[in-house]
């Protein structure tokens, strides 16, 4: 079964410190992986997707098929990064459905 696991419910770091939000998935084929972000009082929105291999707002995420992981990283956290982050998986076998993880709340302290 398709599953997305985010082991940390809350992650608290100081401004300027590196941050890594963990995401592990279970899927036997080739899924598409995403990170979505929800800032306070804003709607949920796409942050980045693995097929784009891009850096958005300083965040990157590498798909590791061997470890079935898609961790989100940023070398220097900023206060404005404080938000709820969801890792998500979509796959052809699931139609157009997306499976979301439980989410990690990132809190960046000044």
Nearest to 86 by CA among 34, 30, 32, 19: 34
Taken in order 98, 6, 58, 30, the sign of the CA dihedral is negative
Which of 34, 37, 67, 78: binder of other proteins (CB under 8 A)? 34
Which of 14, 17, 26, 45: binder of other proteins (CB under 8 A)? 45
Q: How far is the CB of 75 from other proteins (least distance, A)?
A: 26
Q: How far apart are CA 14 and CA 79, in angstroms?
A: 8
Overall residue count recorded for the chain in this entry: 110
56 contacts other proteins (rule: CB under 8 A): no
17 contacts other proteins (rule: CB under 8 A): no
Nearest to 57 by CA among 108, 9, 101: 108
Q: How far is the CB of 84 from other proteins (least distance, A)?
A: 9
49 contacts other proteins (rule: CB under 8 A): yes
Contact residues toward other proteins (CB under 8 A) are: 6, 9, 32, 34, 43-46, 49, 86, 90, 95-98, 100-103
């Amino acid at each position: 079964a398709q599953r997305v696991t985010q082991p940390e419910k809350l992650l608290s770091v100081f401004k300027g410190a590196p941050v890594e939000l963990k995401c592990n998935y279970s899927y036997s084929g080739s899924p598409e992986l995403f990170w979505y972000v929800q800032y306070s009082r804003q709607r949920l929105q796409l942050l980045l997707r693995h097929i784009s291999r891009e850096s958005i707002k300083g965040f990157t995420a590498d798909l590791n098929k061997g470890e079935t992981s898609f961790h989100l990283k940023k070398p220097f956290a900023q206060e404005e990064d404080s938000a709820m982050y969801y890792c998500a998986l979509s796959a052809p076998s699931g139609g157009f459905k997306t499976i979301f993880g439980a989410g990690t709340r990132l809190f960046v302290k000044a």
